Amino acid sequence: VKKMTSTLKGITLKGSAELVAEFFSFGINSILYQRGIYPPETFTRVTHYDMSLQLTTDPKLKNYLTNVVSQLKEWLFECTVQKLVLVITCLETNEVLERWQFDIECDKSAKESSAPREKSIKTIQDEIRSVIRQITATVTFLPLLETPCAFDLLVYTDKDLVVPDKWEESGPQTIDQSEEVRLRSFTTSIHKVNSMVAYKKTESV
């Protein structure tokens, strides 16, 4: 249990940002593992949120994710991020096959100086756990990714945000003809994260 988000003190903006960023880190890893974007043997199992999760051991990927997540954390703290999207595209055709979208609603009234919110870590973690479980459960109905795939992480931020180095603007990369399934959401009482997955509609058999 991190000091800044201790149950005694409640949830602060910084703490909330941490929690959400952490969720994204594990969530993205889970998706990459479950959807088979990376070989399963490059993942290792860890415990978090009172459940077993897969984390990648691939150094390049780890590096990339760390960078994205740490930037996200900042933006969460500043409440400038609106969505995080994980796009899975077919390597050859660049067609978007799957799109995991996490909408972030930030309570802007919670500033650094304001009093911490009342919400137990345990509750938040329970909620997060449900979401990650749902992500795992989606494999049963998501169409198989039969071709080698690439993934990309898109962040929807406020319009006037200063774009940091190494980050570029991008299109939304939506799927035409998509099926969408909304998953559970969780909230830290400062940040609320809604999750959903959109996938390319497969031809009916």
Instruction: Please give the residues from 63 up to 92 whose contact with another protein meets the rule CB under 8 A.
Output: 63-64, 67-68, 70-71, 74-75, 78-80, 82-83, 85, 89, 91
Region near another protein per CB under 8 A, out of 5-13, 21-29, 115-123, 159-167: 159-167
Query: Which residue, 4 or 145, is less far from another protein as judged by CB?
Result: 145
Q: Whose CA is closest to 24, among 87, 61, 73? A: 73
**Could you say which DSSP state residue 5 is in?**
G
In the complex, minimum distance from the CB of residue 31 to another protein, in angstroms, rounded to a whole number? 12
How far the first Cα of the chain sits from its last, in Å, is: 49
In the complex, minimum distance from the CB of residue 122 to another protein, in angstroms, rounded to a whole number? 15
Query: Which residue, 8 or 165, is less far from another protein as judged by CB?
Result: 165
**Contact status: 149 vs another protein (CB under 8 A):** yes
**Contact status: 145 vs another protein (CB under 8 A):** yes
| Tokens (6 digits) for 153 | 């992480």
Query: Which residue, 9 or 126, is less far from another protein as judged by CB?
Result: 126
**Contact status: 17 vs another protein (CB under 8 A):** no
**Contact status: 189 vs another protein (CB under 8 A):** no
CA atoms of 162 and 90, how far apart (whole Å): 31
**Contact status: 180 vs another protein (CB under 8 A):** yes
Q: Whose CA is closest to 170, among 117, 94, 119, 109? A: 94
**Contact status: 95 vs another protein (CB under 8 A):** no
Query: Which residue, 8 or 160, is less far from another protein as judged by CB?
Result: 160
**Contact status: 154 vs another protein (CB under 8 A):** yes
- Measured in whole angstroms, how far is the alpha carbon of residue 185 from the centre of its chain? 12
**Contact status: 128 vs another protein (CB under 8 A):** no
In the complex, minimum distance from the CB of residue 94 to another protein, in angstroms, rounded to a whole number? 9
CA atoms of 148 and 73, how far apart (whole Å): 30
| Tokens (6 digits) for 28 | 């993205």
**Contact status: 16 vs another protein (CB under 8 A):** no
62-70 long-range contacts (CB < 8 A, ≥24 apart) are: 65/25, 65/28, 65/29, 67/166, 68/153, 68/155, 69/21, 69/24, 69/25, 69/28, 70/21
